[in-house]
């Protein structure tokens, strides 16, 4: 409904999220060989990419410092629709704060990998110290 060039009854702040994919459409989606319809949009830049091999991948397009970028949110069904939407919201919050969501994801993965490597190193060194045998080179066992 239009009144004097202004939309009445529509929340324009949330208008990006009006096009939500029904769960049954996600389950039943198949790759189309002619290339049309292989992206199911959920709004806010998020979509489900259908692959030839049958894979379904959540993606989000965004712009950061004038560049078009794509963020991988996970594979369906390992990442549900609700989880993908939460990831989209986190990415949008990062964008609003001036942080590139792709770089933030890389930094988070790097931190997790470093934490795992450091904790394994500490445990392994402790184990080695515990089991280290002290050798005295002056003792001759042949005699």
Give pLDDT tens digits for 15-25. Answer: 444 567 778 78
- pLDDT for 140 equals 63
Distance of CA 101 to the CA centre of its chain: 9
Q: Which residues touch 46 (CB under 8 Å, ≥6 apart)?
A: 58, 59, 60, 73, 84, 85, 88
- Radius of gyration from C-alpha coordinates of the chain: 26
pTM here?
Answer: 0.64
Mean pLDDT along residues 82-95: 91
Left, alpha or beta for 43 (phi > 0: left; psi -120 to 50: alpha)? left
Give the residue, 11 or 49, on which the prediction is more confident.
Answer: 49
**Rounded Cα gap, residues 92 and 85, in angstroms:** 10
Residue 96: name the closest of 63, 126, 123, 122 by CA: 63
| pLDDT cut 70: percent of the chain above it | 78
pLDDT in tens, 105-134: 988 888 888 777 667 777 787 788 888 766
pLDDT in the model for residue 113 = 82
Q: Which residues pair with 47 in a beta bridge?
A: 41, 59
């Amino acid at each position: 409904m239009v009144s004097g060039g202004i939309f009445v009854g529509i929340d324009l702040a949330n208008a990006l999220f009006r096009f939500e994919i029904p769960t049954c459409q996600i389950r039943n989606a198949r790759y189309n060989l002619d290339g049309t319809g292989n992206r199911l949009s959920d709004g806010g830049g998020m979509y489900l990419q259908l692959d030839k091999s049958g894979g379904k991948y959540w993606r989000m397009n965004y712009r950061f410092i004038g560049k078009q970028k794509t963020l991988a949110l996970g594979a369906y069904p390992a990442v549900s629709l609700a989880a993908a939407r939460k990831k989209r919201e986190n990415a949008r919050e990062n964008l609003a704060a001036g942080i590139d969501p792709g770089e933030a994801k890389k930094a988070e993965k790097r931190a997790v990998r470093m934490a795992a490597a450091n904790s394994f190193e500490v445990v392994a060194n402790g184990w080695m110290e515990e089991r280290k045998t002290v050798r005295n080179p002056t003792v001759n066992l042949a005699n």
